[in-house]
Amino acid sequence: MKYSSFEYALYGELTLLLRGPDVGVCLAHLQQQGVPLRFVRVRGAVGYCNISLRDFDVVYRTCRSRRVRFRIVARHGLPFWRKRLWRRKSFAFGAVLFVCIIYAMSSMVWQINITGPKDEEGVAEIQDAAKTVGLYVGQAKSRLPDPATLQQQILSHAPDFVWVGVQTTGSVTQIQALPKVEGIKKENLKPHDIVASIPAVIRQISASRGRVVVKENQYVHPGQVLISGNLSGGAKNVPAAGQVLAEVWYTSKVTVPLKVKQEGLTGASVKRDYLCVGPFKLRVWGFAEPHFAATYERDERTEWKIGSFVLPVQWQNTRMYEVTQATENKSVQVAKQTALRLAKEDVETKTGGESRILGQSVLHPQVAHGTLYETVLTRVEQDIGVAAPTSAP
């Protein structure tokens, strides 16, 4: 009777070391009894052979009857593996649990990337729409509908977009969205006036439609009619249109510190390695805690793939650098120039960039506690006209 390699692995195999003057006779007698022997080697009174665990009783009786001593040198096969694993139950349980965790992590969505929207509001709209239909970080991929249905569901909850594409690779979902193109704004054809939006002094006014009712160098207040849609001579009212450039004053209160703290790297660093499973990180190397007053961290993460499938298990290297702080003293003259620049940026923010700086004046400069305080008056030229309902003649 012979055993296959699979049967040896399934039922177990023993490697025996035999000693005695009748080793050769004992092995020959075992073969006569039909016991399969493998890798038989005999050198005088010493012999080696491999037997199946199922034939151990026959080998034991034969060796005793022939006064041949034997010793088990090695054990192979599933029964011995099972016994070793049972001795290390915690290790076996951990290995099985690790495989289960990897499988569970790979069947969930752990990252959602959104491309296409031009601003944060568009990204937030797509995120809310995806969350409404059930696509969010931590969701099981098996609970999501097919991509075509998912795209239509997201698009139905995002009215500002004309097309949405969804592609899931591994545990990463990519959403591409195409926003709607804003149409040309329709011109207001109803009769109306052009009035002042803010107090200013008129510098230049030109009307393409309507009647100019103010003069250059005239001070106007908010709501005052600049170009009227009421034409003289009893003519029909028209929608007034034109450009009104006026001088406007803006006041900005600016604070500039004379001492500025700057940070720099000393070169000292500490390295740490993490095993990343989904959103969880397990530190496996670099347990020393740095005694740095301040640190700067730089991360480098792998992107292991099997084909196009991104594995949920990655490796991350983190290096923590020591940071030193230095103080830079700024002169009052440089601080004043910085204050003028900050005031200019403040005015450009208020006017939306559609203005021209005419001049700047510094009011009430003061240096106290290492800080420069200034009130800057900025003169700008901008269009102050806005549409308003036509007033009664």
- Over residues 29-40, the pLDDT tens digits come to 888 888 888 888
**Residue pLDDT, tens place only, 314-361:** 889 888 888 887 777 888 888 889 999 999 998 888 887 778 889 999
User: What's residue 251's pLDDT?
Assistant: 92
User: What's residue 248's pLDDT?
Assistant: 93
Is the pLDDT score of 98 beyond 70? yes
Is the pLDDT score of 381 beyond 80? yes
User: Could you tell me the two tokens for 261?
Assistant: 């703290």
User: Could you tell me the two tokens for 134?
Assistant: 């059930």
**β-pairing verdict for 172-179 and 111-115:** parallel
The stretch 134-158 carries a mean pLDDT of 87
User: What's residue 277's pLDDT?
Assistant: 85
3-class DSSP string for 13-69: EEEEEEECCCHHHHHHHHHHCCCCCEEEEEECCEEEEEEEHHHHHHHHHHHHHCCCE
127 Cα distance to chain centroid: 14
User: Could you tell me the two tokens for 234?
Assistant: 């009893």
HSE (CB half, 13 Å, CA atoms) of 176? 4
**Residue pLDDT, tens place only, 2-44:** 788 888 888 888 998 998 888 888 888 888 888 888 888 888 8
Q: Which residues contact 355 (CB under 8 A, 6 or more apart)?
A: 248, 347, 348, 380, 381, 382
**Range list of H helices, 185-311:** none
The stretch 245-256 carries a mean pLDDT of 92
* Residue type at position 188: N
In order of 74, 93, 97, the CA distances from 82 in angstroms are 15, 13, 18
* Residue type at position 354: E
User: Could you tell me the two tokens for 110?
Assistant: 């752990």
User: What's residue 393's pLDDT?
Assistant: 53
User: What's residue 350's pLDDT?
Assistant: 86
The percent of residues above 90 in pLDDT, for the chain, comes to 13
C-alpha angle with apex 245: 240 to 250, nearest 5 degrees?
125
The stretch 94-111 carries a mean pLDDT of 80
In order of 33, 128, 156, 160, 179, the CA distances from 182 in angstroms are 94, 22, 19, 10, 9
pTM comes to 0.43
Q: Which residues contact 98 (CB under 8 A, 6 or more apart)?
A: none
- 295: nearest Cα among 325, 328, 327: 325
3-class state of residue 40 by DSSP: strand
Q: Phi then psi for 117, rounded to 5 degrees?
A: -60, 145
**Residue pLDDT, tens place only, 151-164:** 889 988 888 888 88
C-alpha angle with apex 51: 50 to 56, nearest 5 degrees?
140
HSE (CB half, 13 Å, CA atoms) of 33? 17
Q: Which residues contact 293 (CB under 8 A, 6 or more apart)?
A: 322, 323, 324
What whole-number distance in Å separates Cα of residue 390 and Cα of residue 393?
9
Is the pLDDT score of 200 beyond 90? yes
User: What's residue 383's pLDDT?
Assistant: 92
**With b meaning 16 or more CB within 10 Å and e meaning fewer, what string describes 19-30?**
ebebbbebbebb
Task: Give 249's pLDDT tier (boundaries 50, 70, 90).
Answer: very high
What whole-number distance in Å separates Cα of residue 169 and Cα of residue 362?
59
Q: Which residues contact 324 (CB under 8 A, 6 or more apart)?
A: 263, 264, 265, 266, 293, 294
Do 135 and 142 touch, CB atoms closer than 8 A? no
The whole-chain average pLDDT of the chain stands at 85
